[in-house]
């Protein structure tokens, strides 16, 4: 009976090591706070946002290093960027809106989606603040359930495609993560 327990424990240990070896990705997460201004017709309103960026890098190794302990990484491997934007539209300290979107690493990381009245707009990072790109139009590519894919063209003429996973205009930060 003791040998059976030892064999089962050994199998669990080996399978745990095998699964740990299969996970070839790393996740980097950063959170920043920014502000941006919205023209409400008669006045400019300052809004604050908290942007959490999660970058999941797929780790790929050079095939010639397959049998080495210290393998060289391939630096141009694919990464998925997921951004969670929490927006405070008023004077209180609570966030009022939440937008979650993701895209591939081929696109620049210096943009976020924010709300301007009742629409999503693209904003770019300008130090401690965000600048809404007035001339930037989002084109809807398609929807799947409550998720929508959008495309915008950057200033270099490159199409950037991203998936809006969640857009909640009446978000209560006490009810969710």
Residue 129 lies in a domain: yes
Position 174 scores a pLDDT of 59
Q: How many domains does the chain contain in total?
A: 1
pLDDT (0 to 100) of residue 18: 40
CB 145, CB 131: distance < 8 Å: no
Report, as ranges of residue numbers, the positions in the chain whose pLDDT lies below 50. Answer: 14-22, 177
14 within a domain of the structure (yes/no): no
Range of the domain at 92: 25-168
Residue 96 covered by a domain: yes
Q: Is residue 17 part of a domain?
A: no
pLDDT at 83: 92
The residue written with tokens 């630096």 in the block is: 75
Q: Are 51 and 84 in contact (CB under 8 A)?
A: yes
Whether residue 59 lies inside any domain: the answer is: yes
pLDDT for 15: 45
Closest residue by Cα to residue 150 from 105, 160, 104, 166: 160
Residues in contact with 70: Cβ distance below 8 Å, sequence separation at least 6, in sequence order = none
Answer whether 162's CB lies under 8 Å from 103's CB. Answer: yes
In a domain, 124, yes or no: yes
- Model pLDDT, residue 16: 44
pLDDT the model gives residue 10: 59
Per-residue confidence (pLDDT) for residue 4, from 0 to 100: 55
Q: Is 7 domain-assigned?
A: no
Query: Given this model, what pLDDT does residue 30 score?
Result: 92
| pLDDT of res. 28 | 87
Flag whether 8 is in a domain: no
Do residues 48 and 142 lie in contact, with contact meaning Cβ atoms separated by under 8 Å? no
């Amino acid at each position: 009976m003791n040998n059976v327990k030892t064999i089962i424990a050994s199998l669990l240990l080996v399978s745990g090591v095998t699964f740990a070896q299969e996970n070839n990705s790393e996740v980097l997460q950063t959170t920043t706070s920014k502000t941006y201004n919205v023209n409400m017709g008669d006045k400019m309103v300052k809004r604050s946002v908290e942007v959490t960026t999660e970058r999941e890098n797929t780790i790929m190794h050079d095939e010639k290093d397959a049998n080495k302990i210290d393998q060289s990484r391939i630096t141009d491997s694919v990464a998925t960027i997921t951004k969670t934007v929490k927006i405070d539209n008023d004077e209180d300290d609570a966030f009022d809106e939440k937008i979650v979107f993701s895209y591939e690493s081929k696109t620049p990381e210096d943009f976020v989606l924010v709300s301007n009245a009742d629409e999503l707009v693209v904003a770019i990072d300008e130090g401690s603040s965000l600048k809404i790109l007035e001339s930037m139009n989002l084109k809807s590519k398609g929807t799947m359930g409550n998720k929508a894919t959008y495309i915008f063209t950057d200033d270099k003429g490159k199409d950037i495609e991203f998936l809006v996973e969640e857009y909640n205009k009446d978000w209560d930060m006490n009810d969710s993560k």
